[in-house]
Each structure stands twice: as structure tokens, then as C-alpha cells.
Amino acid sequence: MSIRTITDLLASSPAKDWAVGQFNSHNLVMMGAALAAARAERAPVILAVGYQSTKYFSLQALAAAMRVLAEEADVPVAIHLDHARELERVREALDCGFSSVMFDGSALSFEDNVAKTRQVVAMARDAGASVEGEVGVVPQPGAKPGEIGLTDIGQATEFAGLTGVDLLAVSLGSVHGMTEASLAIDQALLEKLGQAIPVPLVLHGASGVTDEAVRQAITKGVRKINVNTALKAAAVRKMREALTARPDTDLLEVMDIGGRAITELAVHKLRVFGASGRA
Ligand SMILES: [Zn+2]
């Protein structure tokens, strides 16, 4: 099946009672595992890579692998660059066929974030790709209290209008890099953002957010949900168990065990997101 933008994936089932899952897939095993979940659930899906992934493989190699796997899949797939902080990175991704890019200008001043995101939108329009921007800061693990900034409604509304982004990542109290789903998020803030912002909202750091809070967030305007850390943690847990029980387990078998753990969790997430059967 051909590669789609995220806007296309959401348009394929216009009802607003579901969200599309973004599964960060840092290598071929993770990509295959995420797609296996999407195919089993008949769900559209986003395969994403980011700075963590490019520590191990070039963006070009990752893009080629995602493109081929997406074309082989019988469900709609978007391939997305997560958290690009430089325009050069966005250019590189568009040149190698990504159908969607996120520009994360959350560390910049509001004015600089608007200016750079506008440039990204112009570049992506030429390439036929969708764009996600960010207003507010979803903190990285170990962030200092001053770096945690919930999204300001006025700024987010202005940002969406000035930049023309297709999706907007907002900060609602989730944190990147959590291995256990224990956080609730600021549903009252989300409710107001959902009413004020004309584009679909994105929840980052969803590994740390409870299923119940995620379900509520979808009713208030979150249409894309990013999962990264929980997938890695699920794989490591199962691989550790396998190696503890049988230390001479073959590498390929160990990786397959990790992949199957990712598929199992991704299936669960797709069901929580209401994404099953939307393809
Ligand atoms: Zn993120």
C-alpha cells in the first residue's frame, strides 16, 4: 500500500473518536513489529524515527527500510520524522521520502518557533508531506522544573494560525521517557485547547500516561499519540526473561522475542486509541 501523510490517515476515518498511533521504530525489528500490530488490528499507523534512531543508522537507511515495509503492508502507513530541531534535518527527511515531519521549536522563543515552523511548512508543502509543530515543552527525562512548560492556549492558537501546521503537539503534563504508565494529564487544559485549536492535537510521552487518561484525551481533541519508551521497555523485559532462562538463546531468536513483545503492546495501544478497524 502506498505511503500516506498523517492528514490522510486521519481523514480515512473522519469520526473524531479515535487517534492514530505513532510507534517509534528504531530498526527493522521494531518497524516490523509495529506493522504486525497495525495489520492484525486493521489500523492505520505511523512509523517514526528520531534522533535516538540515527545514533545507529543513517536517516537514509531508516527511510528506505520504512518505505519498503510500508509499501508491503496492506494498511495505510505514514513515515514520520520525530522531533527535528534543525531545518537541515527536515530537508534531509523530505529528500528521502518521509511523508511527515515534526519540527520541535519548543526550545526557541515563540517568535523563532513560528518563523522556523513556517519555513518547515513551506518545505513540506512542496514535498507533499504533513507537518507537526510544538507549543509548550513536553520535558525530557530528568528535566528541571523550569523546563516544564504546559501549553499556553493563546500562544497555541496564534501558532496554529501563523504557521499552518497540520498537527500541533501540546504539553499537558506528560513527560518523555517514562517506562510505567502512571501519569494523568491536565484534562481541563486539554479541553480548552481542543476547543480553541483548529488542527488535531498530539500527545507526546504517552508511555507514561494511563490508558484511562489517554481515552479521555481522545474525546477532547488528541488525534495522534506517540509511543516510544514503553515499546522498548516491553521488548527488554521479554528479552531479559528469555536470556535468563536460556543464556545461549540465538541472537535472532532474542530479537524476535523482543519484536513480539512490541507487537503485543502496540496491539493493546491501538485498541485503547480506538484505531482498530479504521484501515
Ligand atoms: Zn516527543
pTM: 0.96
CATH T-level fold of 6-272: TIM Barrel (3.20.20)
- CA-to-CA separations, 203 to 88, 191, 210, in angstroms, rounded: 25, 13, 12
Cα–ligand 1 centroid distance for 247 (angstroms): 35
- Cα of 125 from ligand 1 centre, angstroms: 22
Which residues are annotated as catalytic?
82
Instruction: Say how far apart CA 265 and CA 252 lie, in whole Å.
Output: 20
Please tell me the distance between residue 79's alpha carbon and the centre of ligand 1 in angstroms.
15
Q: Could you tell me the distance, in angstroms and rounded to a whole number, from the CA of residue 94 to the centre of ligand 1?
A: 19
The number of beta carbons lying within 10 Å of the beta carbon of residue 251 is: 7
For 117-168, what is each residue's pLDDT tens digit?
999 999 999 999 999 999 999 988 877 656 668 999 999 999 999 999 999 9
Q: What is the pLDDT of residues 84-104, one digit of tens each?
A: 999 999 999 999 999 999 999
d(CA 217, CA 214): 5
**Ligand 1 mean position, distance from CA 226 (Å):** 7
Q: Where do the domains of the chain lie?
A: 6-272
